[in-house]
Amino acid sequence: MTTPQAPTSDELAALRERYHLERERRVRPDGAGQYRPTEAEFGYYAADPYVGDVAGREPLHDTVDVAVVGGGFGGILAGARMRQQGLERVRIVEIGGDFGGTWYWNRYPGIHCDVESHVYLPLLDETGYVPEWKYAPGEEIRRHAVRIAQKFDLYPDALFSTGVTSLTWDDPSEKWIVATDRGDAFRATYVVTATGTLSQPKLPGIPGIEDFKGHTFHTSRWDYGYTGGTADGGLTGLSEKRVGVVGTGATGIQVIPMLAEDAGHVYVFQRTPSTVDVRANRRTTAEDVGADHDGWARERRDNYLRIVSGEPAEEDLVADRWTMSAGLLEKLLPSFRRQGDRETFEAAYEAADAAKMNELRTRVEQTVADPDTAERLKPWYRYACKRPTFSDKYYPAFNRANVTLVDTADTHGIERVTEHGVVVGGTTYELDCLVFATGFSVGTSGILSGKLPVHGREGTQLLHAWARQGPRTLHGFTSNGFPNLIQMGSVQNASSVNYTHILDEQAVHAAALVAGAEAEGALVEPSREAEDDWITLLSKDAPDHEWFHAECTPGYYNGEGRGRPNGPRAYPYGAFAFHEFLKRWREESLGEILRARTPQQP
Ligand code: NDP
């Protein structure tokens, strides 16, 4: 880890003190309870704005080879990789009106992915597509999801505007029964769950929020009917309007400059400032990214993963602020290969962290003209406490006369919403429109949410079993008692900044398990002993991140200040090493997970 301007020990002590004070200023007694999921009373915040009336259809009672729960990149990649293994009936069930997941729902002005498009967009080698921008706009990414689904013929069997309500293993037929909110109860030999992690929009439980009489929506359900324009701007409907934005996370950072361009006045209600590093988006050519031979995208993606997983790499092909700051993310990523002994590592880490945060605070000072506003935009915490963000347009937006920063840190967020505006520190800000860029509930989709009951052998409910004994899996994918069920996600698996890469490796693995079972006429089901061995391996070298997050400013990485317990959460040696481990396991040991089918009765 390099330290451009290594801080002195006095400077480090002063920073620690300041970070502690800023944390204490923000911690709330209600923790994660301060939020309300956009369900029940707030259902209108979560409705799908991109489909009109959903056409009725007859419930399905047929049988498919593979059912995939979720049509985001995880589900699409599972479908594509299953197709490559020769599976014919692959049915993806998706609650949105089309494929795309995150990129289906989030279409707000300014939306881009801040991971380089040439490593983020999956299956570029397979589709022949070469993105033209270093960081792709959301619509290009959504279209790429559709491109993959078309190429791998995933549309004919897909079910959209449909939510899976339960998965039940039927022992006599050795199939899963997939029930949905459209009355379907079809069978599938295999089920893959790919339900994502950040899909349920959340709202702060601000008193009076339901009283607001102006227009209001969540960024993941942008109302272009009201604002006019597109994700590229031109929000002409706002030209005379006073618009409030709550939230300055990765979404707020992208939305606010777009609103600033078009709205009459923008009030930015900030609680904790993000780190906002250099973006430097630019057009790229195929030559720039080395797209001149088969496998170029895989190589680039592997190089990126090496770097952000803490592996040595000869060169940094992407060379952006994610890769340059990768060492500072060790405490954020569940799996990062740490170099050297702990004491030396932590000392170098803290010094590099302080240097980086100083650089980012200086960036604010150098860009924002008003010193008071600049001071309030400075982030005071360690780099990995909050999701880093990147923009060259965010800070300049605060130099405009029609943008006002309202700091809500001392009141732990907005105090109250009234019929006509928002109250902070006793001042009422009258608004025509209130936009919530307040993020998503973590872990509230799919099996972990408890809203998708999974009944395995003898009716055992997966989540109930896990509640008693903690998650039990082999490699994060499969569990004893739940044959032919393959989970995608980050539980006891690996994770990374470039999550589509993780999902693709998971999809490859899922498809290999299914192909192995098909070839042997077997079921996929690990033994209890295999699960025990996996948990032992994860526990043995589980990284100690708890103390770090306990000192962080509140956010969803640390349960809003409550903590982030250590434990056998993820493969401890990094995502890159995990993929190599899985590949070897598939070549040498896949047979161990296959179990004989029970002969069917005539
Ligand atoms: P976040 O959860 O990151 O941010 C929510 C924001 O709302 C925070 O600034 C939070 O403040 C603020 N907030 C919440 N409650 C209140 C309140 N009562 N008063 C004032 N402010 C409040 O959500 P995002 O949608 O920004 O991002 C979610 C995730 O989506 C990101 O972490 C990232 O993983 C992903 N994303 C990725 C992008 C990409 O380019 N790859 C782009 C956009 C999002 P506080 O910090 O104080 O809690």
Q: Which of 378, 411, 436 is the last residue of a domain?
A: 436
Q: Is the CB of 74 under 6 A from ligand 1?
A: no
Helix, strand, or coil (residue 578):
helix
Q: What pLDDT is stored for residue 332 in this prediction?
A: 81
What residues have CB less than 8 Å from 587, skipping those under 6 apart?
A: none
Closest residue CA from atom 34 of ligand 1: 387
> Of all atoms in ligand 1, which is nearest to the CA of residue 560?
48
Closest residue CA from atom 4 of ligand 1: 249
Q: What pLDDT is stored for residue 443 in this prediction?
A: 62
Q: How many residues does the chain have?
A: 602
Q: Which of 133, 423, 429, 438 to mutate to test the pocket of ligand 1 (most atoms within 8 A of CB)?
A: 438
The residue-averaged pLDDT of 504-527 equals 98
Quote the ligand 1 centre to 143 CA distance (angstroms): 25
Quote the ligand 1 centre to 71 CA distance (angstroms): 23
Q: What pLDDT is stored for residue 445 in this prediction?
A: 60
> Of all atoms in ligand 1, which is nearest to the CA of residue 249?
26
Beta-bridged to residue 204, according to DSSP, are: 35
Q: Is the pLDDT of residue 256 over 60?
A: yes
Closest residue CA from atom 20 of ligand 1: 413
Q: Which of 385, 403, 436 is the last residue of a domain?
A: 436
Q: Give dist(CA 541, CA 559) in Å, integer.
A: 23
Say yes or no: 403 and 257 in one domain: yes
The residue-averaged pLDDT of 381-405 equals 97
Q: Is the CB of 498 under 6 A from ligand 1?
A: no
Give Cα separations from 66 to 176, 241, 265, 515, 574 (angstroms): 10, 49, 51, 11, 30
- DSSP code at position 219: G
Token code pair at residue 434: 């209130």
Say yes or no: 160 and 231 in one domain: no
Q: Is the pLDDT of residue 305 over 90?
A: yes
Q: What is the mean pLDDT of the chain?
A: 93
Say yes or no: 207 and 168 in one domain: no
Give Cα separations from 171 to 175, 560, 597 (angstroms): 7, 42, 10
Q: What pLDDT is stored for residue 2 in this prediction?
A: 43
Say yes or no: 138 and 164 in one domain: yes
Q: What pLDDT is stored for residue 4 in this prediction?
A: 52
Closest residue CA from atom 3 of ligand 1: 249
- Best-predicted range by mean pLDDT (199-203, 278-282, 488-492): 278-282
Q: Is the pLDDT of residue 568 over 80?
A: no
Q: For 156-179, what is each residue's pLDDT tens digit?
A: 999 999 999 999 999 999 999 999
Closest residue CA from atom 35 of ligand 1: 250
The residue-averaged pLDDT of 524-550 equals 92
Under 8 Å between Cβ of 488 and 510: yes
Q: What pLDDT is stored for residue 146 in this prediction?
A: 98
Under 8 Å between Cβ of 446 and 452: yes
> Of all atoms in ligand 1, which is nearest to the CA of residue 436?
7
Q: Is the CB of 199 under 6 A from ligand 1?
A: no
Cα torsion angle, 467, 468, 474, 480, sign: negative
Q: Is the CB of 250 under 6 A from ligand 1?
A: yes
Which among 178, 150, 206, 204 is positioned nearest to 64, based on CA atoms?
178
Beta-bridged to residue 177, according to DSSP, are: 168, 187
Helix, strand, or coil (residue 422):
strand
Token code pair at residue 437: 């860029």
Give me the domain span that covers residue 387: 9-37+203-279+342-436
The secondary structure of 156-174, three-state, reads CCCECCCCEEEEEEECCCC
Say yes or no: 196 and 214 in one domain: no
Q: What pLDDT is stored for residue 467 in this prediction?
A: 87
Question: Is residue 33 in a domain?
Answer: yes
Say yes or no: 78 and 137 in one domain: yes
Report which of residues 275 and 326 the model is more confident about. Answer: 275
Say yes or no: 75 and 196 in one domain: yes
Under 8 Å between Cβ of 228 and 243: no
> Of all atoms in ligand 1, which is nearest to the CA of residue 251?
26
Q: Is the CB of 247 under 6 A from ligand 1?
A: yes
Q: Is the CB of 244 under 6 A from ligand 1?
A: no
Quote the ligand 1 centre to 565 CA distance (angstroms): 22
Q: Is the pLDDT of residue 31 over 90?
A: no
Q: For 53-93, what is each residue's pLDDT tens digit?
A: 888 999 999 999 999 999 999 999 999 999 999 999 999 99
Token code pair at residue 127: 């589709």
Q: Give dist(CA 342, CA 336) in Å, integer.
A: 14
Helix H or strand E encompassing 332: none
The residue-averaged pLDDT of 282-290 equals 95
Question: Is residue 45 in a domain?
Answer: no
Token code pair at residue 34: 């301060």
Question: Is residue 73 in a domain?
Answer: yes
Taking the CA atoms of residue 39, residue 42, residue 46 and residue 49 in that order, the dihedral angle to the nearest 10 degrees is 150
Q: For 263-273, what is each residue's pLDDT tens digit?
A: 999 999 999 99
Strands (E), 425-472: 427-430, 433-436, 440-441, 454-455
Q: What pLDDT is stored for residue 544 in this prediction?
A: 81
Token code pair at residue 304: 């990126």
Q: For 398-424, what is each residue's pLDDT tens digit?
A: 999 999 999 999 888 899 999 999 999
Report which of residues 31 and 164 the model is more confident about. Answer: 164
Q: Is the CB of 437 under 6 A from ligand 1?
A: yes
DSSP-assigned states of every residue in 110-128? T-B-SS-HHHHSTTHHHHT
Under 8 Å between Cβ of 274 and 250: yes
Q: Is the CB of 269 under 6 A from ligand 1?
A: yes
Token code pair at residue 562: 């409550």
Q: What pLDDT is stored for residue 393 in this prediction?
A: 98
What residues have CB less than 8 Å from 312, skipping those under 6 apart?
A: 306
Closest residue CA from atom 14 of ligand 1: 438
Say yes or no: 506 and 482 in one domain: yes
- State the total domains in the chain: 2
- Please report, as a single letter, which amino acid is at residue 234: G
Please list, residue by residue across 128-151, b when 16 or more beta carbons sit within 10 angstroms of its beta carbon and e when fewer do.
Answer: ebbbebbbbbbbbbbebbbbbbee
Q: Give dist(CA 535, CA 473) in Å, integer.
A: 8
Q: Is the pLDDT of residue 281 over 70?
A: yes
> Of all atoms in ligand 1, which is nearest to the CA of residue 113?
40
Q: Which of 387, 411, 436 is the last residue of a domain?
A: 436
Q: For 90-115, what is each residue's pLDDT tens digit?
A: 999 999 999 999 999 999 999 999 99
Helix H or strand E encompassing 144: helix 138-151
Q: For 457-494, what is each residue's pLDDT tens digit?
A: 999 999 999 888 889 999 999 999 999 999 999 899 99
Q: Is the pLDDT of residue 347 over 70?
A: yes
